[in-house]
């Protein structure tokens, strides 16, 4: 299961080689920084065997997630209106930027992971299928606003990490298993700081608007 510090400097990576740049990446990052009001950092994992490049993107914001939600509610995030009929604008911009990057890149390129780092929390979005992150980005951000009061326990606790989505662990036998369909809108994983280097890991159900224990789920 993932945690706050997922990297291990002593671990030697034996999979696809990681690069810091690829053709067309600068323009792609400028689009991300413009529409997310953030500083963008990216790593490119190139897999020569599968002939593809995966991007791991970190967007660092100088404000909290509540300010982000306020912009959504006001309809002035990146000069976009986040009403239901126009909420796909961020997804469209991401998709167009990724398409342009693919035109300039030597290999098919997709977003493997997108992390939004706010001052008070981080949200980590993992790929479910090809181009799933740009396709669902707007709907995920809209869902954050709709469920914010619930996954913050009535605005009393802010999770320091939000994993979108989490997956049911099919390797264990448990009477509470749900045999759920993999989706961005079923379950999210939340880490809450309990002090003294302790944390609470909970699963939030978007359908039921309630928490579950983490034992039958995998954080990506």
List, run by run, the mean pLDDT of 10-residue segments along the chain (220 residues). Answer: 43 44 82 88 90 95 89 60 54 91 92 97 97 94 93 96 84 51 91 90 95 65
pLDDT at position 72, please? 62
Q: Which residue spans within the chain are E strands per DSSP? A: 17-19, 39-47, 52-60, 109-117, 122-126, 161-164, 166-168, 187-195, 198-205, 210-213, 217-219
Pairing between β-strand 109-117 and β-strand 52-60 as defined by DSSP bridges: parallel
What are the Cα distances from residue 161, in Å, to 8, 158, 215?
Answer: 18, 9, 17
d(CA 18, CA 29): 17
pLDDT for position 12: 42
Stretch (H or E) spanning 60: strand 52-60
Q: Kindly state the helix (H) or strand (E) to which residue 73 belongs, with its residue range.
A: helix 65-74
- Both tokens assigned to 190: 């939340």
Whole-structure pTM value:
0.81
Q: What is the pLDDT at residue 167?
A: 75
- Please report where in the chains the tokens 């950092």 appear, as a residue: 41
């Amino acid at each position: 299961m993932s945690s706050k510090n997922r990297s291990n400097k002593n671990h030697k990576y034996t999979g696809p080689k990681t690069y810091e740049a690829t053709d067309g990446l600068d323009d792609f990052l400028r689009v991300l920084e413009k529409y997310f009001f953030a500083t963008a950092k990216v790593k490119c994992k190139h897999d020569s065997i599968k002939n593809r490049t995966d991007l791991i993107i970190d967007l660092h914001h100088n404000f909290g997630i509540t300010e982000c939600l306020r912009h959504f509610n006001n309809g002035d995030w990146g000069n976009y209106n986040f009403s239901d009929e126009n909420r796909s604008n961020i997804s469209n911009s991401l998709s167009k930027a990724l398409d342009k990057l693919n035109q300039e890149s030597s290999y098919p390129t997709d977003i493997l992971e997108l992390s939004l780092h706010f001052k008070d929390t981080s949200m980590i979005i993992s790929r479910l299928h090809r181009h799933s992150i740009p396709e669902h980005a707007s709907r995920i951000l809209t869902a954050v606003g709709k469920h914010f009061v619930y996954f913050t326990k009535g605005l009393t606790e802010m999770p320091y990490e939000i994993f979108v989505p989490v997956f049911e662990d099919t390797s264990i036998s448990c009477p509470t298993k749900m045999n759920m369909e993999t989706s961005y809108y079923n379950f999210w994983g939340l880490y809450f700081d309990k002090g003294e280097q302790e944390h609470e890991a909970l699963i939030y159900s978007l359908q039921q608007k309630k928490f579950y224990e983490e034992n039958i789920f995998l954080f990506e």
